[in-house]
Amino acid sequence: MASASQGAIEYGTLLSSVRGDFRATDANSIAELGRIASDSPNLDPLFREAAAHALASIHSRETLPYLAKLLDDPDALLRVEGLGGLGSFANGTPMQTRASTASLAYLQLSGEGPYRTPETIANFALGSPAIERDEQRYLAFWKDWWSSHRASLGF
């Protein structure tokens, strides 16, 4: 029988794996991450935050409805992930992985993203310290961006 501390270690490992390594882009995986992050308010907040970070790191077209829903979540960390994921998609940044985090390659605005504009770049922020400075402005911009683009993106 596993001890409580062993269970806590295993749970911590699970959270770290989802947050930092789970980058499956198939429809079922994205739907499950989205369900955990945006549709399950009674789940452990740490589990929801790990799933939200994975969605934001993937930031594919399929993740966008879930990321947009996070913009209205009462949890500030979930809103931060929603903002970062939408901004990463619109600005065409590469998927965030452990390797791209170490090299900072996931922050590179290389090439031309079809949704990148001077406004999306000006409203692109990642992480709580950057977003907390003007969260309401970022929320207003990205809610409007989603409202303006969701139909053309197929949602």
Q: Is residue 155 part of a domain?
A: no
Indicate the number of domains in the chain.
1
Q: Is residue 140 part of a domain?
A: yes
Q: Is residue 154 part of a domain?
A: no
Tell whether the model's pLDDT for residue 98 goes beyond 90. Answer: no
pLDDT in tens, 106-119: 667 776 778 999 99
State both tokens at 94. Answer: 């590469």
Specify whether the CB–CB gap between 131 and 80 falls below 8 A. Answer: yes
Domain of residue 138: give its range.
Answer: 4-149
> What is the average pLDDT across 60-76?
97
Specify whether the CB–CB gap between 63 and 88 falls below 8 A. Answer: no
